[in-house]
Structure 1
Amino acid sequence: MNNSALRIFLPDVVGKGYAAFWKFKGRYRVVKGSRASKKSKTTALWIIVNMMQYPQANTLVVRKTFRTLKDSCYTELKWAVHRLGADPWWKFTESPLEAEYLPTGQKIYFRGLDDPLKVTSITVDVGVLCWGWIEEAYEIMSEDDFNILDESIRGSCPPGLWKQWTLTFNPWNEHHWIKKRFFDNPDDETLALTTNYMCNEFLDAADLKAFDDMKIRNPRRYAVAGLGGWGIVEGLVYENFREAEFNPKDEAFLADHPSLVSCFGLDFGYTNDPTAVFCGLLDQKKKQLFVFDELYEKGLSNKRIAESIQAMGYGKERITADSAEPKSIDELKSLGLRIKGAAKGKDSVKNGIQWIQDLEIIIHPRCVNFITEISNYTWEKDRFGVMTNAPIDDFNHLMDAMRYALENYITGSKWIC
């Protein structure tokens, strides 16, 4: 089997705006960009093209949590193979999650940082492990975690090959270590790029209108999600949080928190916003809230919401949902969930926030969307730039779901369903 029949003109397939990215051979390519800026798709295309060109190269693809890989990087790489017309030469498997270039046996390996031993102990069958891609690199909150990962690509390369990490992400927070390390102080081994949707010539009129609407409706989000600028985070609503590993089923953990109660909340979404399910454990005596899991996905019907919650093992938990969708709540009840609508009421957002501010919030590293939201959930500013006492209408899907989940404890009510 060979790929001699594959003839493509790359500019037509990849498009414009990434010439420097495509040619760079230093240790780090770091690309922050807006949504629809082609950064992930271009990276996927680069990996497939170059693995077919360099028969000794293997690639490691990483996200903070393994479970997010299949619907992101794995899918993007399958798309890249198909776009290049290279389907006959590639084999994708889900168990284990990997891709193989059949003519040579080269592989793309997928790993999550939630299983560090599997990241640092990769042995390749053919050639060397020389390239790595970290998608949504913003999720890696600790530079030390990246340094450990960086060391997983080590040793010498055959002539013509080079070791390289590619980091792609949305730049939500200017205080992230990635900015200081790669953008403020780049060296000769670093290519730091900012891209946005305007370099994506494959967007249609509806896609472009969505950005035009965002520019008018939500200038703060447009500056980041539209133009790829750094998110400037001032006036966080919650400052009392930290990321930490914990096992909610561990006997020692449970013994240390004998009064734990489970708290589940749901915020509905569909096309533009994700459906968000908050999964937490509350220790009122110690004033601690443990965030241990989440659901965060667009395009979910009520049936799929119920199936997803049941598949996660939470089908029998009591869930408090946004009462703005009573029809959806009724349907979820008919599908077997124990769910009710939030009471809300006057000043419920303000009172809920104040109550939660008295807690210490401990977030499991797997809850990457919760960490992103709470790190960007700020107070709204008025037209003079002065902070108000109302939160922004953004980064609030899991934040709202958290308030719903804790509503009975905030108000002192009993859960009736």
Structure 2
Amino acid sequence: MQIEKEVNPRFEEFIFNWDYKNYFLVGGYGSSKSYHIATKLILKLFEEKRTALVVREVYDTIRDSCYSLLEEIIIDMGLDDRVRCITSPMQIRFPNGSKIIFKGMDKPAKLKSINNVSLIWIEECSEVKYAGFKELIGRLRHPSLKLHMILSTNPVSKNNWCYKHFFMDNKKKNFILDDKELYKEKTVVVKDTYYHHSTAEDNLFLPKSYIAQLEEMKTYDIDLYRIARKGQFGVNGTKVLPQFEVKEHYEVLEAINAIKKVLYKNGMDFGFETSYNSLLRLAIDDTQKILYIYWEYYKNKMTDDKTAIEISEFKETQELISADSAEPKTIKYYKQEGFNMRGAKKFPGSRLQNTKKVKRFRKIICSSNCLNTIEELQDLTYATDKNGDQIEDDFSIDPHTFSAIWYALDGYEVSNFKEIKYDEQIYNKGMGLSGKQPVSYKKGGSVF
């Protein structure tokens, strides 16, 4: 049987390519990626007897999106007399025994009954939870057919799992694929994953008025313009720390050693199950108003006794650690174990005041060794309320390293720090830079 279908040239090679296991399609609004994925599925299921699974995060959204799109293309191809589109339960059946079934990740129990699925399409994959994605990988199995997974999405924040999974190597902390290369090349293959990028220009069936509307977004919502018009990942929302930058570890150490009178601070946030024990070493250039972050400890599911062993160097050096005062029992334990630890002051509005304090630094320079700090703070954005208004003391994630910085800076003011006479021997040692940080030094009633 010969089937004729007009398609956009940008997607022609993609439709007939089945050489790879994973197909990751990202693009702007109106680029026609979903339309061509649906076309690809229909052609494949006519060619081979397969069971395909189409997934979205919420089941109730499927009928008016993926299902109706597939039905529309089947009718347009003149196949509706041979292909049955059944609404209850939603499925599409082909004359050769192939079928498409639909599931929502909001009802994960129903996934357990799925067998012999050799092809999965996850529409709007950025909305699906990472745990759900891993569950779907386990459901993709067949005794003889080659397995394929297709994922489609509009680009979202780089904090989303789909960016981290398909573009970042979490173990090596470097790029699997630099997204800028994808925007340039449009199609890239890395190992067993086929990457595809598209924008509204790639859809020859779009009216010019639609593209003009996308262009208008640039004047009133630059984040939405990047997503909808350019089809590019990035930061959604207002950055909390726009002055945050990353430099090679040796460069950070050299810069700290060059400071004539450097202030060293240590801060710790406590966590266990979903939160993290986050301990940071900071150095401050008070003259230039630059904050350096050059060492981190970051772990969860650790009892206090085990953590105490792993950070025992602080007990040996007696460096002062300012910690979360909401955990007085924890602080008491560390003090009994011989750590020089105290609780940082907390008061109504302290989250906002601490955030403003950190923002007053001209630069925040982080060592490339502090991977968790970079991940949390580089693209940290403000949370918004139901009206879309920015919340000044709430964020897109719970940044434990940010809390550690707050506590470390307890008692320090960026804009008006009191003059203290320092012991030159402490500075000359380069605290923590050529070994371990020396003992916290007390003089004239001041502690630093």
Q: TM-score normalized by structure 2?
A: 0.48
The one-letter amino acid paired with 1:155 is H
- Name the structure 2 match of 1:28: 22
Structure 2 residue 268 is the aligned partner of structure 1 residue 230: no
Structure 2 residue 135 is the aligned partner of structure 1 residue 141: no
Preserved contact between residue 117 and residue 142 of structure 2 (Cα < 8 Å): no
Alignment of 1:5-404 (within 5 A): 6-8=2-4, 10=5, 13-22=6-15, 23-54=17-48, 56-101=49-94, 103-123=95-115, 128-142=116-130, 144-157=131-144, 161-184=145-168, 185=176, 187-233=190-236, 235=238, 398-399=386-387
Preserved contact between residue 64 and residue 114 of structure 1 (Cα < 8 Å): yes
For 2:191 and 2:12, locate their aligned partners in 1 and report how far apart those are by CA, in whole Å: 17
Give the direction of change, closer, same or farther, for the CA distance of 1:204–1:154 in structure 2 (3 Å limit): same
- Name the structure 1 match of 2:358: none
For 2:231 and 2:51, locate their aligned partners in 1 and report how far apart those are by CA, in whole Å: 30
SS at structure 2 position matched to 1:111: strand
SS at structure 2 position matched to 1:92: strand
1:112 is displaced (CA, Å) by: 0.8
1:77 is displaced (CA, Å) by: 0.7
- Name the structure 2 match of 1:412: none
SS at structure 2 position matched to 1:46: helix
1:195 is displaced (CA, Å) by: 1.3
How many residues get paired?
237
1:17 is displaced (CA, Å) by: 0.8
Q: TM-score normalized by structure 1?
A: 0.52
Preserved contact between residue 183 and residue 192 of structure 1 (Cα < 8 Å): no
1:377 is displaced (CA, Å) by: 11
Post-superposition CA distance 1:351-386 (Å, at most 9, x none): xxx9xxxxxxxxxxxxxxxxxxxxx9966xxxxxxx
The one-letter amino acid paired with 2:97 is G
1:66 is displaced (CA, Å) by: 0.9
Preserved contact between residue 170 and residue 224 of structure 1 (Cα < 8 Å): yes
For 1:163 and 1:154, locate their aligned partners in 2 and report how far apart those are by CA, in whole Å: 7
Preserved contact between residue 223 and residue 237 of structure 2 (Cα < 8 Å): no
Preserved contact between residue 182 and residue 192 of structure 1 (Cα < 8 Å): no
SS at structure 1 position matched to 2:233: coil
For 1:400 and 1:219, locate their aligned partners in 2 and report how far apart those are by CA, in whole Å: 15
* Structure exhibiting the larger radius of gyration computed from Cα positions: 2
For 2:32 and 2:22, locate their aligned partners in 1 and report how far apart those are by CA, in whole Å: 18
Preserved contact between residue 223 and residue 236 of structure 2 (Cα < 8 Å): no
The one-letter amino acid paired with 1:52 is F
For 1:162 and 1:141, locate their aligned partners in 2 and report how far apart those are by CA, in whole Å: 25
For 2:8 and 2:238, locate their aligned partners in 1 and report how far apart those are by CA, in whole Å: 39
Give the direction of change, closer, same or farther, for the CA distance of 1:198–1:15 in structure 2 (3 Å limit): same
For 2:65 and 2:162, locate their aligned partners in 1 and report how far apart those are by CA, in whole Å: 21
Give the direction of change, closer, same or farther, for the CA distance of 1:222–1:400 in structure 2 (3 Å limit): closer
Aligned-residue CA RMSD (Å): 3.0
For 1:98 and 1:35, locate their aligned partners in 2 and report how far apart those are by CA, in whole Å: 27
For 1:183 and 1:400, locate their aligned partners in 2 and report how far apart those are by CA, in whole Å: 29
The one-letter amino acid paired with 2:139 is S
For 1:174 and 1:154, locate their aligned partners in 2 and report how far apart those are by CA, in whole Å: 30
Preserved contact between residue 99 and residue 109 of structure 1 (Cα < 8 Å): yes
SS at structure 2 position matched to 1:18: helix
For 2:222 and 2:54, locate their aligned partners in 1 and report how far apart those are by CA, in whole Å: 33
Post-superposition CA distance 1:212-246 (Å, at most 9, x none): 22234433311111111003135479xxxxxx9xx
Unaligned runs of 5+ in 2: 169-175, 178-189, 241-273, 275-351, 353-378, 392-448
SS at structure 2 position matched to 1:30: strand
Unaligned runs of 5+ in 1: 238-243, 245-353, 355-375, 380-390, 404-417
